[in-house]
Structure 1
Amino acid sequence: MECASEMGIPQDLVKEKECDGMDEDVEELRVQLKQAQHEIEVSKSEINQMLAQREETERVYTEKLAQINHARDQDAIMAELRTQAIKLGAHNPEDVVKLIDKSTLTRDENGVIMGAQDVLERARKERAYLFNSHAGSGRQSGTTVSAPSPQPGEPVSFDARRISGADYEAQKWQFLAKK
């Protein structure tokens, strides 16, 4: 009957037989409760470890993404500077790009390089020896490959006595085919 009083159950409602079984059941429930509490603590620590790993992974990902974006922006800035240097008549655009201060250049959301023209104009004023006196076409600056312009002149006269026999026969058949 002690067990009933421990549990707060009136003694007149509990029979002695039931009390013996209840002690075992209560003890078994306490053991199960302790196991469940231990499992909860283990699960909480596993969840905390997973959250810490997730935060670390997100931090690493964010850093790598920032590095990639910075490298991409720098490549775009360098390409824009080389292009603008060529347009301004730079003798060697790579040297011009290396010598200018690129710290003020930024790339906006649309991919437009802000300040490139100003930086190159300032470099052209400060280091005029890197540029032609006037910006010319690509053919003049040596940055574009093109065929030479046709030259006006007299057409070369045809002399049948100076060509080979095969060429003479071909020319003869072309002449006869026109008639």
Structure 2
Amino acid sequence: MAAGGPEDIDAVLALLDGATAWLVSLGRTGQWGTEPHSTNPRRIAQVAAWAGAGRLHLARIDGQAAGALVVGDAMPYVPPATEPELYVNLLVTSRAFAGRGVGARLLDRAREIARERGVRQLRVDCYRGDDRALVRYYESQGFTATDTFAVGEWPGQLLVERLRSG
């Protein structure tokens, strides 16, 4: 696990493009659509801002980017937190390393950062459509589904994890 920076923007965009292509191959276009993130100026600027602000963390396996995590403040479309928190803004992993616990390791890094900052709440939001597979993934990682919301027609789910100290 390593902190990411501006030199990792292309790697994160490649992870996002790979995840989108995989979702499209499954007929799951509701989460991120069908177009590559690397051609979307808004997404490129978002990843660059995350990387430049020190909010990006990368998991690497054999020198390759296996996953990316971005943490920071809650997204504006979710209900505000009622206590100090750390928010998972992005979690994406490479299908090339599926089944190797990359997402879980990245979420463990988010927990470490939260504890270092003295906060006991970690929140994340995700796509709630199709069969709620992504919601179930986060629940399997220790999160509890709370509020539902929509951004336009995109159905979202907010999840929270209460962290133990230590």
Shorter-chain TM band: under 0.3
State TM-score, norm by structure 2: 0.22
Q: Which has the higher contact order (CA 8 A, sep 6+)?
A: 2
**Structure showing the higher helix proportion among its residues:** 1
State TM-score, norm by structure 1: 0.21
Tell me which structure has the larger Cα radius of gyration: 1
